[in-house]
Structure 1
Amino acid sequence: MVSIGQLADELKLTGDKTRLTILSYLKERECCVCELAALLQTSQPNISQHMRKLRDGKLVKETRRGQWIYYSLDLADKPYLVELLKVLPSQQANLDEVCGDNCCDE
């Protein structure tokens, strides 16, 4: 069972508009920082800071492929956050428009 403190910390992470938007993109598929920066029209360092917080909060996990780090959701033990993400609108159209299959050179 989740503690009140842990739940409060996780909800605090999702309470930020940028981080909630990032999670909504990751609900659709894994992304790298360059894709998220393009989608959110902000700098890669800004996205990296948000990703660090989400990773430290154990809401996302990272996988290195060459020089790129790809992020995906890590909510297996957080069904309450999975339910939260279900109510978010799909971001697939934005992903398709901005990133296509992959915007990073591998």
Structure 2
Amino acid sequence: MSKMDNLRALREARYEQDRAARAGSADGAVRAPAEPRTARPTAAPGAVAPARKKPAARKPAAEPAGGAAPSESACGHRAISGRTCTRPLGHAEKNHRYS
């Protein structure tokens, strides 16, 4: 059975349940479920929320993937992968060249 066949079978089963529920009531309206849903627990008034832990200090950034630190004359734009641009600072090209 494919995924769409499974979805179709579930939808048809749900339709049959709804139809059977409407047929059982006198006015044709859908009956409420047998067990009421429970509400989410809420905090008591005046209760204090527990304090959050402070985030851990971040380590300094590692050396670029190219192996050499970018020179001051390099663009230095970082890619998502962590690589840095090797073009000169303020280059006119719209894309970056990563090592």
* Structure 1 and Structure 2 fold alike (TM over 0.5): no
- Structure showing greater radius of gyration is 2
TM range (shorter): under 0.3
- The structure richer in strand per residue is 1
TM-score between the two structures when normalised by the length of structure 1: 0.18
